[in-house]
């Protein structure tokens, strides 16, 4: 039989996944989980695709600022926009999440949902990662693509639960991950219904609606899915509460942390631009979560590797 996890090295991490799926799908066993309850949730940045040297959506934001700058001449003297226009990204991000949120609002609002989806698709068609010069949609982790397909082949329903913008992800997740828009949960800005040129549209407003990170993740899962996952996958402390919520359910559960340990093929770090892997890693042994070591557990990281 073909190995469903061909890019995973044989070892404890791969075996834990195989055992979990086998037990969940074994009829007439005490560990059997009916298909409707086979819910698996995945973080996106750093779990399904590369998040270094910055979140992909941050690169999108910076490119949008440069594109929109002629319409806003005041940006050249106003932070954090002035730093972006000077190419000083470190200074632009010095304000942390607050500065990033300000830039997101300025570059993501004012369009209809359909217009914004087209902007995202057009950008992803040409934007390239600064290290590999590959399209960002090629910077997805091949082992995780195999895992998604393996779970779905065993009647799991796979969801993205990410701190990234939900409308930024939905235009491409089905094509790249096989996850349709209605199974994508993320941070969102407020919207409103209105008529334009005789047609109804949904307009995106410059106001935060929901930040889908940390404790917001299990709350969003309950709100949008209504079932507690039996498997959850993340890579940072932003996923801690999602992992805790999943693991606290009855029956066998799978929690998995992707740890970035390969500085040659990807990046080696436990701290990203906006997050860190500290508490979740410390809790992994006690909670029984699987910690995937990229360097030692994955035969290849990206599909384009020879």
Are 244 and 289 within one domain? yes
Report if residue 5 sits inside a domain.
Answer: no
Residue-level pLDDT at 275: 85
Are 198 and 236 within one domain? yes
Q: Do β-strands 231-234 and 268-269 pair in parallel, antiparallel, or remain unpaired? A: unpaired
Average pLDDT, the chain: 97
Are 184 and 236 within one domain? yes
Long-range contact set of residues 62-71: C-beta below 8 Å, sequence gap at least 24: 62/89, 62/92, 62/103, 63/123, 63/127, 64/107, 64/108, 64/119, 64/123, 65/103, 65/106, 65/107, 68/106, 68/107
Are 145 and 250 within one domain? yes
- In tens, the pLDDT along 41-63 reads 999 999 999 999 999 999 999 99
Domain housing 255 = 12-54+138-297
Whole-number Cα distances in Å, 32 to 105, 149, 246: 45, 20, 17
Which residue among 124, 149, 183 closes a domain? 124
Are 65 and 92 within one domain? yes
Which residue among 99, 124, 149 closes a domain? 124
Report if residue 130 sits inside a domain.
Answer: no
Q: Is the pLDDT of residue 139 over 90?
A: yes
- In tens, the pLDDT along 157-205 reads 999 999 999 999 999 999 999 999 999 999 999 999 999 999 999 999 9
- Total domains, the chain: 2
Report if residue 129 sits inside a domain.
Answer: no
Residue-level pLDDT at 272: 76
């Amino acid at each position: 039989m073909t190995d469903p996890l061909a890019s995973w090295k044989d070892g404890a991490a791969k075996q834990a996944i195989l055992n979990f799926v086998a037990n969940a799908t074994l009829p007439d066993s005490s560990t059997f989980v009916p298909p409707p309850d086979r819910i698996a949730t995945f973080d996106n940045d750093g779990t399904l695709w590369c998040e270094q040297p910055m979140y992909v959506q941050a690169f999108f934001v910076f490119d949008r600022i440069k594109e929109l700058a002629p319409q806003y001449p005041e940006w050249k003297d106003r932070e954090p926009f002035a730093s972006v226009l000077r190419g000083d990204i470190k200074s632009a991000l010095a304000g942390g999440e607050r500065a990033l949120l300000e830039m997101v609002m300025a570059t993501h609002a004012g369009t209809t949902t359909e217009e914004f989806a087209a902007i995202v698709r057009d950008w992803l068609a040409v934007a390239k990662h600064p290290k590999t010069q590959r399209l960002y949609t090629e910077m997805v982790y091949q082992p995780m693509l195999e895992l998604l397909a393996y779970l779905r082949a065993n009647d799991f329903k796979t969801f993205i639960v990410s701190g990234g913008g939900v409308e930024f992800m939905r235009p491409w997740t089905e094509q790249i991950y096989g996850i349709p828009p209605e199974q994508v949960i993320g941070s969102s800005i407020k919207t409103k219904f209105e008529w334009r040129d005789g047609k109804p549209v949904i307009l995106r407003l410059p106001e935060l609606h929901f930040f889908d990170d940390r404790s917001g993740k299990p709350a969003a899962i309950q709100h949008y899915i209504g079932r507690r996952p039996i498997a959850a996958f993340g890579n940072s402390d932003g996923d801690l509460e999602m992992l805790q919520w999943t693991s606290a359910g009855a029956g066998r559960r799978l929690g998995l942390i992707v740890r970035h340990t390969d500085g040659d093929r990807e990046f080696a770090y436990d701290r990203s631009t906006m997050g860190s892997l500290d508490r979740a890693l410390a809790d992994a042994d006690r909670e029984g979560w699987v910690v995937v070591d990229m360097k030692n557990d994955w035969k290849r990281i990206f599909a384009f590797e020879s």
